[in-house]
Amino acid sequence: MTQTAQSTRSAAGIPGQRTPAEAPVPTVAPPATGLAATVRRAFAVVRGLRSLRPVPARAQEPYGESDGQ
């Protein structure tokens, strides 16, 4: 039976606390230390900054009455 299907109400009608079925898994690893990790992080930062470089804007198309009326 799933956790949501389990009845956890006491005789007083107050819902009880549910315990997790399994321990939570950490989603983010702790940051690595050392020279190799620092170089990897610096390379990732430089690569990210490179993607933010300015690009020339394209020409704006005229709008409105373009036939001269």
- Given this model, what pLDDT does residue 19 score? 75
pLDDT in tens, 28-54: 777 778 999 899 999 988 888 888 878
User: Average pLDDT of 11-37?
Assistant: 77
Residue 66: pLDDT band (50, 70, 90) is: low
d(CA 26, CA 49): 29
Whole-model pTM? 0.35
| pLDDT > 80? residue 13 | no
For 9-21, give one letter per residue: b (16+ CB within 10 A) or e.
Answer: eeeeeeeeeeeee
- Given this model, what pLDDT does residue 1 score? 53
